[in-house]
Amino acid sequence: MPSNIYQISIAKIAKAAPSDGFIDPFRIEYYRAVENAPKGTDMNVMATKKKGFVRWHRIENQLARLGNLYISEIQAPGADTNTLPTSVTFQVLVEHGIESVSTPDEAASGSMLKGMDAIKRAVARALMSSLNTNQEVWDPTTVTNTEVIKFGYRTIPLEVGPLATSITEATSFVTVSEI
């Protein structure tokens, strides 16, 4: 069966807590080695970045429900240790061809979305999800009562709010195109 590759772009969504954090497909270690945490970084920024990373996993999980889809070429322009990306773009390879991808359409009971519409809906669902979870978050607070300055992780309760309140709103942030 033929495989197809699709480019998925998600426009930046800026919301207040608990829906802050947009989407960040990379762990904090990707941006900077943990030993070199930049000045100005604080626990609140790290918690917000972690929310973005949790949302990225929600996108991966929703896409996995559609079948054998493989994510590659992930880009998060403008992102660094302290800053969220201005958008998120990635490619999805659909192993068994786009005709193999379908999902129920919650906006039209009894209907199914197929192909690129199904991919777009899966990402939109992830943008609408919310989650209360305990997560390991990088804590850049320095511990100075030891011979060596130390940083570390802390497990904290994290409320990850939705980035959209309706499937229509969520879908408006997502673009899917064939490569």
Question: Could you read off the pLDDT tens digit of each residue along the chain, which spans 179 residues?
Answer: 567 899 999 999 999 888 998 999 998 878 765 445 555 578 888 899 999 999 999 999 999 999 999 999 999 998 888 888 999 999 999 998 889 999 999 988 999 999 999 999 999 999 999 999 999 988 877 666 666 666 678 899 999 999 999 999 999 999 999 99
The number of beta carbons lying within 10 Å of the beta carbon of residue 168 is 10
Element (H, E) at 92: strand 87-94
Q: Residue 33: CB partners within 8 Å, gap ≥ 6?
A: none
pTM: 0.89
